[in-house]
């Protein structure tokens, strides 16, 4: 008899525990639609999209910013006549400004790329492209920019800026490009 | 293992005693008036004269395609022959030569196939003599084009004494991933293989005369470097020089490299020693000098120079040091190639219609145009026989490689796959596997 009572008591206790657990779950699911559900997480918060606190730029970041400024300052191209490496008055003006920029950004060296239009043949154009790049180098040298800061690469007609086949495209392709090297 | 075709002369060459050069048709493809010979390729036959196998028919098609590259042969067709096919078998006794003679057919070719074996014969119709007879065994579909090429090489050799066109491998630049890499293929475009993966632009390939190396220029943001590709090891070595350039490296017949470097402020041509050190400038001047090309003796070197203003072609006699101006017409003549015998120079001239290829006979002092566009034709290069001239042209849209002859025969495009291809250079080297 005692054993029966004990078993009955245990069953009642168990069923009450089970009932209370079921009720708890039901209560959660039955939140009103308008209520705000708050999730609590231990994960690190992503702060990337938040405004960064004020801090000083790292050395690398400053250099990258300066590099971008320097590229902006020396990036203007100069252009040539057909089969010519003679600097035009316009080119000299552009190079004057470039020399000032190179003095200002003295940490940086540049690559001068010599390019040609498609009309000449490949090998002669590679030599002509070098003369074009060298013409700019020599002019900059006269303005006080050391040759050691300037690397020359002639691409001849391998990398046209414009793909067309008329003078409009050709005149844009006969050029020197200036790129910050380091 | 892929079936490999084998040359077995034994079967058919019982006839070779009849096929001596002294007895048979031969002609000088370099003669002043070009001979044109009519050749008819009869339908292939199977065993006992029955219908052909697919292999035999395919072989016949490849041979006819190859013959299309030989301007001194004219392909005739069966419907031009009275009574149709005048043969009952493959040999002279099985052929009725009379209708062929009436049809002005000079050469007739028979093809027989049995299983993976192929027999091919070419007869001279007026004498009924066998010019070429070959049997090939264990031929499979993949090897068939090479077998056809070998047969045509033999035919060309018998007729002209030359076969450089079929025995050569072309090296050339192709556009890859925004740059250029070097490829090789046979003169018929077979065995197309990319051989460099340097990045940047690989241009101006030049074969060593032994076919073991290719010199070229690599252009990248590191500047110009001389590349040397090694056939045996299938690798490239890049070398930087003083100055800013390394343009138009060219092997001399004795295995040295002439290259345009800028050691004194502008491009001049230097000969490199065995340690790749430049010596004194060849034919120095204040102007640009590039694109050297040598005859087989190595004594004559043509090159392009701006020493008198615009670019013109000059000839250096290396023994005396004398420099001779070669071109006077036009204001922009570039990229010369000297024939192996040193007599002819082909070069690109800028005309009102674009770049065109011209040839100058250094002995006769005469000049003529051999390509006619449209678009631009440039990068001419003599084959090892000095008969064919390959060049790059934009005539069909894009830049592709074509071949003509020094007589200006109609140009034929060499298949080089999709993408632009240019700067072809001939090398006496078998195609890569």
Q: What residues does each domain of chain A span? A: 81-180
Residue B249: CB atoms within 10 Å? 22
Contact between B288 and A123 using a beta-carbon 8 Å cutoff: no
Q: Are both B97 and B219 inside the same structural domain?
A: no
My answer on whether omega of the bond before B374 falls inside 30° of 0, hence cis, is yes
Calpha distance A75→A180 (Å, rounded): 8
Report the interhelical angle of B54-67 vs B144-160 (nearest 10°).
Answer: 50
Angular region, B283: left φ>0, alpha ψ -120 to 50, beta rest? left
The more confident residue out of A36 and B170 is B170
Out of B223, B267, B350, the one facing A151 most closely (by C-beta) is B223
Residue A17: CB atoms within 10 Å? 10
Only one residue has tokens 């730029």, namely A57
Q: What is the pLDDT of residue A39?
A: 52
Q: Are both B209 and B308 inside the same structural domain?
A: yes
Calpha distance B205→B240 (Å, rounded): 17
Q: Are both B238 and B127 inside the same structural domain?
A: no
In this structure, are residues B170 and B137 in contact, taking their beta carbons and an 8 Å threshold?
no
Q: What is the pLDDT of residues A75-122, one digit of tens each?
A: 899 999 999 999 999 999 999 999 999 999 888 999 999 999 998 889
Contact between B334 and A120 using a beta-carbon 8 Å cutoff: yes
Out of A83, A126, A158, the one facing B245 most closely (by C-beta) is A126
Residue B1 is assigned to a structural domain of this protein: no
Q: Are both B252 and B113 inside the same structural domain?
A: no
Q: What is the pLDDT of residues A126-178, one digit of tens each?
A: 999 999 999 999 999 999 999 999 999 999 999 999 988 889 999 999 999 99
DSSP state letter for B93: G
Q: Are both B46 and B194 inside the same structural domain?
A: no
Q: What is the pLDDT of residue B52?
A: 75
Write out the two tokens for A61. 């970041």
Q: What is the pLDDT of residue B4?
A: 43
In this structure, are residues B359 and B344 in contact, taking their beta carbons and an 8 Å threshold?
yes
Final residue belonging to a domain, choices B161, B187, B212: B161
Q: Are both B285 and B304 inside the same structural domain?
A: yes
Out of B247, B332, B355, the one facing A126 most closely (by C-beta) is B247
Q: Are both B66 and B143 inside the same structural domain?
A: yes
Best of B241, B267, B380, B422 to disrupt the A interface (most A CBs within 10 Å) is B267
Q: Are both B279 and B184 inside the same structural domain?
A: yes
In this structure, are residues A105 and A97 in contact, taking their beta carbons and an 8 Å threshold?
no
Q: Are both B129 and B188 inside the same structural domain?
A: no
Q: What is the pLDDT of residue A18?
A: 44
ipTM of this model?
Answer: 0.86
Residue B240 belongs to a domain with what CATH number? 2.120.10.30
Q: What is the pLDDT of residues B103-142, one digit of tens each?
A: 999 999 999 998 889 999 999 999 999 999 999 999 898 8
Q: What is the pLDDT of residue B31?
A: 58
Residue B433 is assigned to a structural domain of this protein: no
Calpha distance B270→B249 (Å, rounded): 10
Residue B256 is assigned to a structural domain of this protein: yes
pLDDT band at A50, cuts 50/70/90?
low
Structural domain including B216 reads 168-427
Please state the domain count of chain B: 2
What Rg value do the Cα atoms of chain A yield, rounded?
Answer: 37
Quickly list H helices, B219-261: none
Q: What is the pLDDT of residue A46?
A: 54
Chain A residues contacting B via beta carbons under 8 Å: 83, 111, 118-124, 126-128, 130-131, 133-134, 151-156, 158
Q: What is the pLDDT of residue B19?
A: 42
Residue A29 has pLDDT above 90, yes or no: no
Which regions of chain B are under pLDDT 70?
1-35, 49, 430-433
Q: Are both B11 and B84 inside the same structural domain?
A: yes
Q: What is the pLDDT of residue B110?
A: 94
In this structure, are residues B69 and B412 in contact, taking their beta carbons and an 8 Å threshold?
yes
Report the CATH number of the A81-180 domain: 3.30.1330.60
Measured over the CA atoms of residue B217, residue B184, residue B192 and residue B347, the dihedral's sign is positive
Out of B180, B291, B355, the one facing A123 most closely (by C-beta) is B291
In this structure, are residues B137 and B119 in contact, taking their beta carbons and an 8 Å threshold?
no
Q: Are both B277 and B179 inside the same structural domain?
A: yes
Q: Tell me which chain A residue has its CA closest to the CA of residue B259.
A: A123
Judging contacts by C-beta atoms under 8 Å, the chain B residues touching residue A120 are 311, 332, 334, 350
pTM score: 0.83
Q: Are both B126 and B173 inside the same structural domain?
A: no
In this structure, are residues A174 and A117 in contact, taking their beta carbons and an 8 Å threshold?
yes
């Amino acid at each position: 008899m005692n054993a029966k009572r004990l078993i009955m008591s245990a069953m009642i206790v168990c069923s009450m525990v089970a009932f209370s657990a079921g009720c708890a779950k039901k209560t959660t699911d039955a939140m009103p639609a308008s209520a705000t559900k708050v999730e609590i997480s231990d994960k690190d918060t992503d702060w990337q999209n938040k405004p960064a606190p004020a801090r000083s730029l790292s050395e690398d970041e400053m250099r990258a910013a300066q590099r971008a400024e320097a590229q902006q300052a020396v990036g203007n191209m100069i252009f040539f006549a057909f089969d010519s490496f003679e600097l035009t008055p316009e080119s000299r003006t552009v190079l004057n400004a470039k020399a000032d920029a190179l003095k200002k950004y003295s940490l940086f060296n540049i690559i001068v790329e010599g390019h040609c239009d498609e009309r000449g043949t490949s090998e002669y154009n590679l030599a002509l492209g070098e003369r074009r790049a060298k013409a700019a180098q020599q002019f900059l040298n006269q303005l006080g920019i050391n040759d050691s800061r300037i690397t020359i690469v002639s691409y001849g007609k391998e990398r046209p800026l414009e793909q067309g086949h008329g003078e409009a495209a050709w005149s844009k392709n006969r050029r020197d490009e200036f790129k910050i090297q380091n | 293992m892929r079936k490999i075709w084998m040359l077995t002369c034994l079967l058919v060459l019982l006839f070779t005693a009849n096929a001596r050069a002294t007895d048979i048709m031969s002609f000088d493809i370099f003669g002043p008036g070009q001979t044109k010979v009519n050749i008819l390729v009869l339908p292939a036959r199977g065993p006992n004269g029955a219908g052909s196998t697919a292999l035999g028919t395919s072989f016949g098609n490849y041979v006819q395609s190859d013959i299309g590259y030989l301007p001194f042969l004219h392909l005739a067709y069966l419907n031009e022959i009275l009574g149709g096919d005048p043969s009952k078998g493959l040999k002279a006794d099985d052929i009725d030569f009379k209708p062929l003679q009436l049809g002005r057919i000079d050469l007739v070719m028979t093809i027989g196939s049995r299983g993976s074996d192929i027999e091919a014969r070419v007869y001279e119709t007026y004498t009924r003599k066998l010019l070429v007879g070959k049997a090939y065994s264990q031929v499979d579909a993949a090897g068939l084009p090479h077998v056809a090429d070998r047969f045509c090489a033999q035919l060309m050799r018998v007729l002209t004494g030359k076969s450089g066109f079929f025995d050569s491998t072309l090296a050339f630049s192709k556009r890859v991933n925004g740059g250029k890499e070097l490829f090789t293929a046979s003169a018929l475009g077979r065995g197309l293989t990319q051989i460099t993966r340097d990045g940047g632009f690989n241009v101006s390939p030049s074969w060593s005369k032994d076919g073991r190396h290719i010199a070229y220029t690599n252009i990248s943001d590191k500047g110009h470097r001389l590349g040397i590709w090694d056939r045996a090891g299938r690798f490239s070595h890049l070398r930087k020089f003083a100055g800013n350039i390394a343009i138009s490296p060219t092997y001399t017949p004795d295995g040295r490299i002439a290259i345009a470097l800028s050691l004194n402020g502008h491009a001049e041509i230097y000969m490199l020693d065995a340690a790749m050190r430049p010596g004194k400038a060849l034919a120095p001047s204040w102007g640009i000098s590039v694109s050297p090309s040598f005859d087989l003796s190595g004594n004559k070197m043509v090159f392009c120079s701006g020493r008198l203003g615009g670019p013109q072609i000059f000839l250096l006699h290396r023994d005396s040091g004398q420099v001779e101006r070669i071109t006077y017409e036009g204001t922009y003549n570039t990229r010369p190639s000297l024939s192996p015998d040193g007599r002819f120079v082909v070069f690109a001239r800028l005309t009102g219609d674009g770049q065109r290829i011209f040839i100058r006979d250094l002995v006769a002092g005469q000049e003529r145009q051999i390509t006619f566009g449209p678009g631009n034709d440039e990068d001419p290069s003599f084959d090892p026989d000095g008969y064919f001239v390959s060049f790059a042209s934009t005539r069909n849209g894009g830049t592709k490689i074509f071949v003509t002859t020094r007589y200006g025969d109609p140009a034929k495009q060499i298949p080089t796959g999709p993408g632009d291809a240019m700067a072809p250079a001939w090398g006496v080297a078998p195609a890569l596997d």
